[in-house]
Amino acid sequence: MSIKRILTLSIAILLLHQISGLNTQALAAGKEKPAKNIILLIGDGMGTSQVYAGMTANGGTLNLERFRIAGFSKTYSTEYVTDSGAGGTALATGHKTKNGSIAVDPQGQPVKTILEWAEENGKATGMATTCAMTHATPASFIAHQAKRSDYELIAADFLKTDIEVFIGGGYDHFGKRKDGVDLIEQLRKKGYRIAQTIDEIKEIKSGPVAGLLYPVHPPKWSEGRGDLLTESVIEAIRLLSADSDGFFLMVEGSQIDWAGHDNNAQQIAEEMIDFDRAVGAALDFAEKDGQTLVIVTADHETGGLSLLDGDFETGELKGSFSTGDHSGVMVPVFSYGPQAALFGGIQENTDIFEKMMKAFGFKKDQ
């Protein structure tokens, strides 16, 4: 046998070996039990630079490093650069759509969200955010509107679902509306306890709970938001995990994006660390529970941030921004728990919806 032939053969054997290895892995992922619970945490505007900014300011490490499986998501919408409406819609429904859309397809038709699928399948559902509940990201999981700025229409869509817990801002879109309709009263009639502080939520033994803690948005972390997001995650998990059928919880670190729009690297780092603490709380629960899939990703990157210098001791950062808007780069995906292997590698943002459906074991033709 010539050297060349031996080489070709060994490469072929090596490749075969790799492919069969991948198959075994895929098979293992397929055979794994479905996830009882899914916690999806979205860092709005969180690219890899934002993650590293948080790491730098946090002394060189983050809870995100506890994940063993990572991948990337391709964030484009019907445009090369997505907004948070289309980005949220892709993750929530598996449809790429026009920017500004809230869980409707490019023709404006409503498309079912993973939160709605979870409700239909008997699971409890919840959302916790650092923005108004009616803002694009949470809205994409529960409302169906052609325009993300129709906050009052989005708020009304909350009443069409049976979401068990939501904690964030946006009280005014429910209770101080231009159209005079009192959705707070309607929520009460549906059985919701209305809370305006996190301490009130801590006193509530069981859901459903509408936590509308600010008129519109909660403040920036640097302006006194404190541990609100982490506490919201802990309370949401406490309330949702009472359901023996399992739950779906969406958590958003909303203001990483806003700091990106402001081209403020220090603020990105602060919001990133705050989001990472919430990720830590979700992982703590998942590690104990053993039946919870945790996914962390972003809808897009914001600011076109690159890091030119930094100091792990002082947490100082020198960031350079290429835009005041979103960029088109891929964003990270981290996963932990049952079915986590599905989320490794490079994927479409819409695949994350499909994979959550698969992880839950939901069938689309039911």
Query: Is residue 295 within 8 Å of 358, Cβ to Cβ?
Result: no
Stretch that binds Mg ion, among 91-99, 131-139, 260-268, 356-364 (CB under 5 A): 131-139
Q: How far apart are CA 161 and CA 53, in angstroms?
A: 37
For residue 191, give the amino acid letter.
G
Which position among 252, 257, 270, 351 is part of the footprint of Zn ion (CB under 5 A)? Answer: 257
> Within 10 Å of residue 189's Cβ, how many Cβ atoms?
9
Residue 165 vs 269, nearer CB to Zn ion = 269
Note whether 252 binds Zn ion by CB under 5 A. Answer: no
From the list 84, 101, 254, 327, the catalytic residue is 84
The phi, psi pair for 40, rounded to 5°, reads: -105, 115
CB of 252 to Mg ion, least distance (A): 6
CB of 43 to Zn ion, least distance (A): 12
Nearest CA among 332, 248, 305 for reference residue 75: 332
Annotated catalytic residue 84: yes
Per-residue binding letters, 26-65, with Zn ion (x by CB under 5 A): ----------------------------------------
Residue 300 vs 355, nearer CB to Mg ion = 300
Sheet holding 209-212, edge to edge: 193-195, 209-212, 165-169, 124-132, 247-253, 37-43, 292-297, 331-336, 69-74, 345-348
Per-residue binding letters, 132-171, with Mg ion (x by CB under 5 A): -----x----------------------------------
Q: How far apart are CA 45 and CA 176, in angstroms?
A: 29
Binding-residue total with Mg ion (CB under 5 A): 4
Residue 83 vs 116, nearer CB to Mg ion = 83
Stretch that binds Zn ion, among 152-160, 257-265, 287-295, 345-353 (CB under 5 A): 257-265
Note whether 44 binds Mg ion by CB under 5 A. Answer: yes
Note whether 301 binds Zn ion by CB under 5 A. Answer: no
Nearest CA among 47, 62, 52 for reference residue 279: 62
**Crossing angle of helices 228-240 and 265-289, rounded to 10°:** 20
C-alpha dist (Å) from residue 52 to 29, 123, 332, 338? 30, 35, 12, 27
Among Zn ion, Mg ion, none, residue 125 binds (CB under 5-8 Å by kind): none
CB of 255 to Mg ion, least distance (A): 8
Which residues, numbered 249-268, are part of the site for Mg ion (CB under 5 A)? 254
* Token output for 253: 């670190």
Count CA within 13 A, CB hemisphere, residue 276. Answer: 24
Stretch that binds Mg ion, among 20-28, 38-46, 288-296, 354-362 (CB under 5 A): 38-46
* Angle at CA of residue 176, ends 172 and 178, nearest 5°: 110
Among Zn ion, Mg ion, none, residue 116 binds (CB under 5-8 Å by kind): none
Stretch that binds Zn ion, among 14-22, 24-32, 140-148, 252-260 (CB under 5 A): 252-260
What is the residue-wise DSSP string for 212-263? E-SSSPPPPGGGTTTTHHHHHHHHHHHHHTTSTT-EEEEEEETHHHHHHHTT
Q: Of all residues in this chain, which one has the CB nearest to Zn ion in the complex?
A: 257
Active site residues: 84
Which residues sit at the interface with Mg ion, rule CB under 5 A?
44, 84, 137, 254
Which positions lie near Zn ion, rule CB under 5 A?
A: 257
